[in-house]
Structure 1
Amino acid sequence: MSSPDMAQATPGLAPTLAVLQLLDAAWFLADADGRAGQACARVTAWLGAGFGAGHWQDLVHPDDRALAEGQPVGERGADRRWRMADGSWRWFAHRSQPMGAQTLHVLQDIDARKRREIAHSDAAGLLDSLRLHLPGVFYKLDADEQGVPHVTFVSEAVRELLEYEPDEVEADFRRIFDRVHPDDRERFQAIVANALRTHADTTFEYRVVLPRKGVRHVAGRACSALQSTGRQARFGYQHDITEQKLYQEALVQARAAEQASELKSEFLSRMSHELRTPLNAILGFAQLLKMSTAEPLGAEQWARVDVLERAGRHLLALVNDVLDLSRIEAGHMALHMGAMGVRGVFDEVHSLVVSTAHAHRVSLRRPTWPDLPEGPLAVRADMLRLQQVLVNLMTNAIKYNRPGGDVWLAASLVGSEVCLTVRDNGQGMTPEQQAHLFEPFNRLGAEGSDIDGSGIGMVIVQRLVQLMGGRLSLRSAPGEGTEVSVFLPRAESQEVAAPLAPWPGLAAQVGGGEPAATPASSAPAQAAQRPVDILCVEDNEVNIALLTSIMELRPACALRVARSGAQALKYVAQRRPDLMLIDMQLGDMSGLDLASSLDRDACTAGIPRIALSADAMPGTIREAQARGFLAYVTKPVDVRPFLATLDQAIEQLG
C-alpha cells in the first residue's frame, strides 16, 4: 500500500507519514498482540515481502527481543537489530506510538553509526584493558596550537615504570626528563625533540633513576599519526628492560670469561710445551751420559751430571706444580670421581715414595687401616689426584724429617668420612709457619736449605682436596713433627673399581732417589733379534738428536725421522713402519690429526703408535689413549721408562 493510500486508510496519519517520508524513515502498524499489519514499501524492501505474516518481535535479534517484549507501549524506543530479507542483521532505531487500537512503529536505519559506536566501544575497552594490564606504558602526546607538546593519555603502568602518577605526567610531560639518568638526559631530550619536529618513527633506549628502584633500563617505540584537527599526534610504548639488560651483560661477561678461559688453556698448553721441550734435552742427555757404558763417566763427571739432572728435575717439578695450580684456578682441572679401596691407594703411594725415603734415611712405617665387617674401607675421590695429594704429603713428611725419622700413613673411619693421615716426627712447624702454609711460593724459611721444593705443593693439595669434596686438618709443633689429615666421603666397598696406574709424570715429581749408574736394560731377546722399522715424527732438532741417541741403546731398531705430518704421510705411503713415535704438537698438524689421516686410509690404518709430547694435560692424554695410541710419553722423556714402554710395544708386534 502506498503512503497516500495508507494515509487515507488511517485518518490522522497524513502529517506524520509526510514527516517520516522526509526523514527517510520506515513505518508499519501492529495490533495489540504485536501482529504486523500495514507497512510502507521501504519496510517490506528491508524485512521481506512476508513481513506482515507474523509478529514483528520475531524479526528482532534474540539478544534484543527480551527488551522489546518487556517494553510497555508508549512514547519509547530502543536501538535494535532486525533480520533483513537476506538473513543478515541490521541496526535500526525503533520507536513506537499508540494510534488507537493499533501502534505505529517507526524504523530508522542507524546501522553504520551503530557499528562505529560498537567498534569505538570495543577499542576503548581494549585500550582500557591494555592500560590496566600490560607491563609497559602507552601514551599519546599532542601539541597545542602553539606547538607545545602535552601528554593527553598515559597508562597506569607509568606508576611502575617512572614512579609517577598518570595525572602528574599529563600535567607536565617534562617531568619525565627529571627521571632520566644524567648521562642519558641530553641524548634522550634530543631524540624527543627530533621526533616531534620530523614526526619520524623512533626506537630508543635510556636509563632512569627512580626514588625506590634506583637505576633501571627503559626501551621504547613511538610513531606519529595525523588527527582530525590536522595536527600530528605522537603515540608510543615504553617498557622496563632492566632484566634483559642484566642478562645480556651477564652473557657478555660469560662469553668474555669463556674466551679468557680458552686463551688461558691455550697458554697453559703452550707453556707446558715450551718449558718441557728444553728440559727434555737437558734431562734426556744427562740420563744418557750417566747410562753410557761405551765411554763411562768418571766419578767427578758423574757427580756433575747428576747435579745437572737433579736441577732439571727440580725445574720440571716446579713447572708441573705451576701448571697444576694454574689449571685449578682456571677451573680446568677435570676430575673423574669414583670409589677406590684405601689399601690399593696406600700400596701405590708407598711404592712411589720408597726410594725418596731411602735417600733421606727415613723409615716408612707400615700403613694401617681398619678391617670392617662389611668389606674393605673405600673412599670416593679422583683416583689419580688422590695419589698426587698423598704423594705430596708423604714427600713433604720425608724431606722435612730428620735422618732416622719415621713417617706413618694411616686411614680411619670418622662418621661418613674416611680420614687419611700422614704423620712424621720431623722438624714440625711453628704457629706462624702454619698460618702461611697455604700461601703460593712461601717455603716457610726453607729457601736457604738444601731441601728442594717450589712452595706451592701444599696449595695444590688443599685445592685438590676441596675439588674432591673433602677437607684438610693440620697439627704440628716444632721438634715434634707434623700430622696432616685428609677427610673425604666414604664409598661402599662394592663400588670399588680396578686400581689405575699412576698419573703420567707423578713418579717424576717425587724425585729423591739416586739413579743407578748402570746401563739401560736390554730389550727382551725376541724383540732385540727382530728388526723393527720405527718412524719418528718430530719437528724439533734437539728432540730428534735425543731420540736418535736413545735408540742407539736398541740397535735392532731402525729409526727413520719425518719432520712434519705431511712428510710422515709420504714416508708411510712409501713403506709402512712397524711402529710410529708421534709428537703431538707438530708444526703443520697435531698428532691426533695425523692419526686420523692414517686411520682413514686402509693401507695405513692400525699402525701401532706411541705419543710423545710436552703437553702433559690430562685431558690430552686421555684423548690420545681414546684414539688408539698405545702409550703417551710426556717430555721430558725419562729414558728408562720410555725404553720399557718401547720394549713392551715391540713385544706386542709379535
Structure 2
Amino acid sequence: MDLEARKLMSEALVGAGTSVWAWDLADDALTGMDGSVALLGYQPGDLPATQQAWDSVIHPEDLAANDAAYQAHAAGKTSAYESEYRARAKDGSWRWLAERGRIVEWSPDGAPRRMVGTLTDVTLRKQAELEAAERDERLRQITRHVPGLLYQFRLPRDGRGVFPYVSERCRDVLGLDPQELMHNASLLFGRIDPADRQRTNRMLEDWTHTQTARRIEFRYLHPNGHQRWMLGVSSPRAEADGTVVWHGYLEDITEYRELERARELAAAAEAANRAKTEFLSRMSHELRTPLNAVLGFTQLLELDQTDPLSPGQRHRLGLVRESGEHLLRMISDLLDHSRIEAGQLSIDLVDVPLPELLRECVDMLHPAAQAADVRLHWGHLDDPLRVRADPTRLRQVVINLLSNAIKYNRRGGEVRLEARHEEGRMVALRVIDTGVGIAPAHLPSLFEPFNRLGQRRSGIEGTGIGLAITRGLVTLMHGRIDVNSVLDKGSTFSVLLPDASPPRTQDVNLPM
C-alpha cells in the first residue's frame, strides 16, 4: 500500500473515531501518532511521537490502571492489552479513549520489542453510561425513600408469574430479600392470608382480562410473625406473546387501618357519649320535677301546724325527705359527670379570694361534722391567697372533699383544712383527715366513676362518682388533684390550682 493510500485510510479511521498505532518499545517511538493526536484535536507535531509524551495527556488518576493493564499483557496474564482512560484534548476537555493492543515482536532476551493496536474515542458511550448510571442511582434513591416498594410482575400464559424487578424496600415492607422474591414469587403469594387469597387471585384474573389499573388490600403474614395489611396498586399491560406485565406499588397500611379504626371507634364513642349526656340531661329534668314536688310536700307536711304529725309519722316522713334529697344529689352528680365527660360543662375562670370561699364551705359542713362527732378545724393558711378558678365549681370541689373526710372518718376524729402557696405559681389546698384511709391496692382506682372501693356495704351513703367529678372539675380549672393515704391512719387530698394572689405579705392561722 502506497503512502497516499495509507494516509487516506488513516484519515478515514480518524473520521470514524479510531486510529491505528505501532510502538517500538526499544526506541520509545510511536507510529500513527498523527491519527491519535487528531482524536484529541491536536495537529501533527503538537506532541512528540513517544509513549512518554502520550502518557502526559492521560488523566493522572487513570495512569496507574492503564500501566497495570499493559503490565498484565506483557507478563502473559492477558491475551491483549485493553484499557479505557481519560485524555486531555487540545481545548482542555477530557475525552474518553478505549485502547486495545497486542505485543507482536519480542527481543531475544524475552523483552517486548514491538506492539500494535487501536485507539477509539468512546466519549459519547461513556457519557451515555454515566447518564444511565445517574438515572439508575436517582431511581434507587427514590425507591429507597418511598414508603412502599415498587415492582414489575410478569404473568406468562402458563400462569407461572415472576417478579423481574422489586425495589430495595422489599426488606422493610415484606421482610423478604428482593433477589429471593425475584427468583420465587410464591414467597409473597404464599404469605397472603388464606381468607384473602382467593379474592386476590380473582382480582388478578380480572385485571388480566380488563387491563385496567386497580387497587387491592389484603392481609399478609410477615416473617416476624405479625399480621400486616397491604395495599397494592397496579397497572397491567398485555404483550404480543400473551404475557401480562404489571407495574405497581405495594405499601404496608396497617397503621392507617388501625388509625381509621380508632377514628371510627372514637366517633362512635363520641356519638354514644352525646346520646348518653342528652338522655341523662332530659331524664334529670324529668326526674327532678316530680322529686321536687315530693320534697316540697314533705316539707309542707312537716311544717303543717293545723294538722300536726305524730312522732312516728314525722320520723317516717323524715326518712322519705332524706331519701329524696339523696336521690336529688345523685341526679345532679350524674348529670355533672356526664357533662364533664362530654366536654359540655362550662367553666368561668376568675380570681377567687380563697379564705372567704373556704370559710363558707366550713360553715356549711359544721353541722355534719358535729353530728358525726368529727372536729373540723383550720390548719395553715397563707395570706393573701387567691386562685384562678370557677367559684361555684371550686366550692363544689371543697365541699365534696370535706364531706368525704367527715363521712369516712371515725368518731372523735378530725378534719384539717390547709392552703398555701407552692412553687411554680400554684396554690395547694389540702384536706387532711384521720379517717379509715385507703388501701394501696385501691389508690389507682380512686377516681374511677361508680367505684366505691369496697364501701358499698359500709352503710355510708354515696354514688361513687363524687371524686370523679372532683378531679374533672379541678382539671377543667387547669389544676390537678393528688392523694396520699395510709390505711387506718387517714388521707390527705391536695388540690393544686393556678395562683392569682398579689405579692405575699405574711402567713396567718385563722381560728375556727
Partner deviation per Cα, 1:601-645 (whole Å, 9 max, x = no partner)? xxxxxxxxxxxxxxxxxxxxxxxxxxxxxxxxxxxxxxxxxxxxx
Unaligned stretches of 5+ in structure 2? 10-14, 16-37, 45-123, 505-512
1:386 counterpart = 2:386: no
Summarize the Cα distance change of 1:123–1:379 in structure 2 as closer, same or farther, 3 Å threshold. same
1:376 counterpart = 2:387: no
- In the TM superposition, 1:54-69 aligns within 5 A as none
The alignment partner of 2:381 has SS state of coil
**What is the letter of the counterpart of residue 494 of structure 2?**
V
Q: In structure 2, how many angstroms separate the alpha carbons of the residues matched to 1:489 and 1:351? A: 22
1:472 counterpart = 2:479: no
The alignment partner of 2:176 has SS state of coil
- Of 147, 151, 174, which aligns to 2:163? 151
CA shift for structure 1 position 391: 1.7
CA shift for structure 1 position 192: 2.1
Summarize the Cα distance change of 1:379–1:171 in structure 2 as closer, same or farther, 3 Å threshold. same
The residue number in structure 1 matching 2:86 is none
The residue number in structure 1 matching 2:85 is none
Q: In structure 2, how many angstroms separate the alpha carbons of the residues matched to 1:431 and 1:238? A: 55
**What is the letter of the counterpart of residue 417 of structure 2?**
A
Checking the alignment, whether the CA contact within 8 Å between 1:180 and 1:207 is kept in structure 2 is yes
Checking the alignment, whether the CA contact within 8 Å between 1:137 and 1:157 is kept in structure 2 is yes
Checking the alignment, whether the CA contact within 8 Å between 2:214 and 2:233 is kept in structure 1 is yes
Summarize the Cα distance change of 1:216–1:124 in structure 2 as closer, same or farther, 3 Å threshold. farther
Partner deviation per Cα, 1:26-45 (whole Å, 9 max, x = no partner)? x9xxxxxxxxxxxxxxxxxx
CA shift for structure 1 position 364: 6.3
Summarize the Cα distance change of 1:132–1:172 in structure 2 as closer, same or farther, 3 Å threshold. farther
- In the TM superposition, 1:154-169 aligns within 5 A as 154-169=166-181
- Of 222, 245, 248, which aligns to 1:236? 248
CA shift for structure 1 position 282: 0.9
CA shift for structure 1 position 471: 0.9
Checking the alignment, whether the CA contact within 8 Å between 1:202 and 1:221 is kept in structure 2 is yes
The alignment partner of 1:207 has SS state of strand
The alignment partner of 2:185 has SS state of coil
Q: In structure 1, how many angstroms separate the alpha carbons of the residues matched to 2:438 and 2:253? A: 54
CA shift for structure 1 position 386: 3.1
1:413 counterpart = 2:423: no
The alignment partner of 1:204 has SS state of strand
Checking the alignment, whether the CA contact within 8 Å between 2:410 and 2:436 is kept in structure 1 is no
Partner deviation per Cα, 1:185-228 (whole Å, 9 max, x = no partner)? 23222222333355343221223222248333322222233446
- In the TM superposition, 1:293-442 aligns within 5 A as 295-300=306-311, 302-327=314-339, 339-357=351-369, 360=371, 367-371=378-382, 375-379=383-387, 381-398=389-406, 408-413=415-420, 415-416=422-423, 418-423=428-433, 428-429=435-436, 438=446, 439-440=451-452, 442=454
**What is the letter of the counterpart of residue 180 of structure 1?**
I
**What is the letter of the counterpart of residue 430 of structure 2?**
L
CA shift for structure 1 position 248: 1.9
CA shift for structure 1 position 314: 1.9
TM normalised by structure 1 equals 0.48
Summarize the Cα distance change of 1:305–1:185 in structure 2 as closer, same or farther, 3 Å threshold. same
The alignment partner of 1:367 has SS state of strand
Checking the alignment, whether the CA contact within 8 Å between 1:394 and 1:407 is kept in structure 2 is no
Q: In structure 1, how many angstroms separate the alpha carbons of the residues matched to 2:264 and 2:310? A: 63
CA shift for structure 1 position 321: 3.5
The residue number in structure 2 matching 1:493 is 501
- In the TM superposition, 1:245-260 aligns within 5 A as 245-260=257-272
**What is the letter of the counterpart of residue 361 of structure 2?**
V
The alignment partner of 2:480 has SS state of coil
The residue number in structure 1 matching 2:151 is 139
- Of 41, 50, 58, which aligns to 1:70? 41
Summarize the Cα distance change of 1:238–1:292 in structure 2 as closer, same or farther, 3 Å threshold. same
Checking the alignment, whether the CA contact within 8 Å between 1:346 and 1:367 is kept in structure 2 is no
Checking the alignment, whether the CA contact within 8 Å between 1:140 and 1:235 is kept in structure 2 is yes
CA shift for structure 1 position 125: 6.6
The alignment partner of 2:172 has SS state of helix
The alignment partner of 2:190 has SS state of helix
Summarize the Cα distance change of 1:122–1:184 in structure 2 as closer, same or farther, 3 Å threshold. farther
**What is the letter of the counterpart of residue 386 of structure 1?**
L
- In the TM superposition, 1:505-654 aligns within 5 A as none
Q: In structure 2, how many angstroms separate the alpha carbons of the residues matched to 1:268 and 1:476? A: 36
Summarize the Cα distance change of 1:411–1:325 in structure 2 as closer, same or farther, 3 Å threshold. same
Summarize the Cα distance change of 1:186–1:367 in structure 2 as closer, same or farther, 3 Å threshold. same
**What is the letter of the counterpart of residue 493 of structure 1?**
S
Checking the alignment, whether the CA contact within 8 Å between 1:411 and 1:421 is kept in structure 2 is yes
Summarize the Cα distance change of 1:236–1:384 in structure 2 as closer, same or farther, 3 Å threshold. same
Summarize the Cα distance change of 1:274–1:71 in structure 2 as closer, same or farther, 3 Å threshold. farther
Q: In structure 2, how many angstroms separate the alpha carbons of the residues matched to 1:423 and 1:385? A: 22
CA shift for structure 1 position 315: 1.7
Q: In structure 2, how many angstroms separate the alpha carbons of the residues matched to 1:455 and 1:232? A: 68
The alignment partner of 1:203 has SS state of strand
Q: In structure 1, how many angstroms separate the alpha carbons of the residues matched to 2:290 and 2:326? A: 14
Summarize the Cα distance change of 1:326–1:233 in structure 2 as closer, same or farther, 3 Å threshold. closer
The residue number in structure 1 matching 2:296 is 284
Q: In structure 1, how many angstroms separate the alpha carbons of the residues matched to 2:202 and 2:243? A: 21
The residue number in structure 1 matching 2:274 is 262
Q: In structure 2, how many angstroms separate the alpha carbons of the residues matched to 1:275 and 1:160? A: 60
CA shift for structure 1 position 184: 2.1
Checking the alignment, whether the CA contact within 8 Å between 1:440 and 1:459 is kept in structure 2 is no
- In the TM superposition, 1:79-158 aligns within 5 A as 129-134=138-143, 135=146, 136-144=148-156, 146=158, 148-158=160-170
Q: In structure 2, how many angstroms separate the alpha carbons of the residues matched to 1:393 and 1:349? A: 10
Partner deviation per Cα, 1:254-302 (whole Å, 9 max, x = no partner)? 2222222222222321332233232122112223444557x55345455
Report sequence identity in percent.
30
Summarize the Cα distance change of 1:154–1:401 in structure 2 as closer, same or farther, 3 Å threshold. closer
CA shift for structure 1 position 434: 10
The residue number in structure 2 matching 1:446 is 458
Coordinate RMSD, CA, aligned: 4.7
Checking the alignment, whether the CA contact within 8 Å between 1:138 and 1:236 is kept in structure 2 is yes
The residue number in structure 2 matching 1:63 is none
CA shift for structure 1 position 491: 1.3
Q: In structure 2, how many angstroms separate the alpha carbons of the residues matched to 1:349 and 1:247? A: 47
The residue number in structure 2 matching 1:105 is none
CA shift for structure 1 position 376: 0.9
Unaligned stretches of 5+ in structure 1? 1-10, 17-26, 28-66, 74-113, 497-654
**What is the letter of the counterpart of residue 421 of structure 1?**
V
Summarize the Cα distance change of 1:219–1:490 in structure 2 as closer, same or farther, 3 Å threshold. closer
The residue number in structure 1 matching 2:83 is none
Q: In structure 2, how many angstroms separate the alpha carbons of the residues matched to 1:399 and 1:137? A: 65
The residue number in structure 2 matching 1:179 is 191
Checking the alignment, whether the CA contact within 8 Å between 2:168 and 2:178 is kept in structure 1 is yes
CA shift for structure 1 position 170: 2.6
Aligned residue pairs, count: 381
Summarize the Cα distance change of 1:284–1:364 in structure 2 as closer, same or farther, 3 Å threshold. same
Q: In structure 2, how many angstroms separate the alpha carbons of the residues matched to 1:171 and 1:433? A: 61
**What is the letter of the counterpart of residue 395 of structure 1?**
S
